[in-house]
Amino acid sequence: MDFENHFEARGCGKRHWKGQQYHGPEMFGWVARVDDYRSYTPIGSWLRKYSDLKTIVDLKNEEARKTGRLEESLDKRVEAMDRNVQELEYEYNQTTQLLGKAEEDMKKLIQSHTE
């Protein structure tokens, strides 16, 4: 909770916010919790309007889902790249074979022409 400690040490934490009538130009900060979310203050109204109340377990589960989707997406991209590499290798091998055959035919042609 370095975020909260930073503001608290400067006298700009939640405790100081609640204890003052005039807040001045200073920036106050803390991590909003259930009491903030459910309060009937402008802060509570803003939190209810623009955010969701989540537990740590909810956040961990959400992060796990996002990580799973990212892994799945990356796996699909790797598979597509592997297929592309295989196709390129196949084309390279075909071209190399054709080039080898063309060189062989050319040598035979030159040899038959010189004889």
Do 8 and 45 belong together in one domain? yes
pLDDT for residue 23 is more than 80: no
pLDDT for residue 113 is more than 90: no
- Residues of the domain holding 115: 54-115
Do 42 and 58 belong together in one domain? no
Q: Are 51 and 61 in contact (CB under 8 A)?
A: no
Q: Which of 53, 68, 88 is the last residue of a domain?
A: 53
Domain count along the chain: 2
Do 45 and 58 belong together in one domain? no
Do 76 and 27 belong together in one domain? no
Instruction: Give the other-Cβ count within 10 Å of 7's Cβ.
Output: 21
Tell me the pLDDT tens digit for each residue of 24-42. Answer: 788 988 899 999 999 999 9
The Cα–Cα gap between 35 and 19 comes to: 16
Q: Considering the entire predicted model, what is its pTM? A: 0.54
